[in-house]
Amino acid sequence: MFTLETEKLSLAYGENLIIEELDITIPKGEITVFIGSNGCGKSTLLRSLARLLKPKSGSIIINGDMISKLPTKEIAKNLAILPQGPIAPEGLTVLQLVKQGRYPYQKWYRQWSEEDESIVNDALRSTGMLDLSDRLVDSLSGGQRQRAWIALTLAQDTEIILLDEPTTYLDMTHQIEILDLLFSLNENEGRTIVMVLHDLNLACRYAHNIVAIKNKKVYASGQPENIINAKLVSDVFNMDCNVTQDPLFGTPMCIPHGKGRIVFPKVGI
């Protein structure tokens, strides 16, 4: 049932312990979102799941195998990661970028094939980038550029996709566009999506499963409607709020306390 899990995973930068003896499971075919305050270790955890960061102790298991013992190309066939703010080499077209996703499948006796071509075209089509395939990546808008990078991860043809804050620096329209795209990939293709998101309301709307991290450990995990409440927000984010239902989707919606204009009509007017 689970494709990715950790056992007593501890992560550190030098002597600075970031994650301590973490046990988590990523449900297959669902969208999981990591939430937590800045610096809590969300991105560090995501990087470690892709074997971009060596654990201090503990293990990461993918499809029953220890990830530390798998060849790099084998890992790249199982999961793809889109880091925060990736930068493409200057002068690269969208097509050239997306083709890089087929690298794990290339061998000295097997170069570019019809299958590679088909998968790349499918990735471009799924992300709405087929008509922009000849455009330079540098010339794209923020939303288009992010879709190009997602097309690259799709070209890897992996069951699991990891994304570190995929909506960062995007305006509201493009945030929804990217999250809708990822939701469709999950719904239509059964991809397992794991993301780090800062927007708690969007995390609740799109995630089947949320993992809240605090003090190097999992504070809570589960379906948003089961775990997101005012106490969790206060404890994890140190912020007072009201939690109500999203009027469109029925998912938890956080309304933060703080200062601002009051425009409620006065009684009797």
Q: Residue holding tokens 């969790």?
A: 232
User: Does 160 have pLDDT greater than 60?
Assistant: yes
Read off the pLDDT of each residue in 11-30 and give the average, rounded to a whole number: 94
Q: What is the pLDDT of residues 161-192, one digit of tens each?
A: 999 999 888 889 989 999 999 999 999 999 99
Q: Which two tokens stand for residue 62?
A: 């993918």
Q: What is the pLDDT of residues 233-248, one digit of tens each?
A: 999 999 999 999 999 9
- According to DSSP, the residues that pair with 211 across neighbouring strands are 34, 221
Taken in order 124, 126, 130, 134, is the CA torsion positive or negative? negative
Chain-centroid distance of CA 180 in Å reads: 13
Q: What is the pLDDT of residues 191-230, one digit of tens each?
A: 999 999 999 999 999 999 999 999 999 999 999 999 999 9
Q: Which two tokens stand for residue 155?
A: 């070209």
- Whole-prediction pTM value? 0.91
- According to DSSP, the residues that pair with 252 across neighbouring strands are 245
Q: Which two tokens stand for residue 89?
A: 């080499």
Backbone angles phi, psi at 89, to 5 degrees: -55, 145
How many Å apart are CA 148 and CA 130, to the nearest integer? 10
Question: How confident is the model at residue 269, as a pLDDT?
Answer: 45
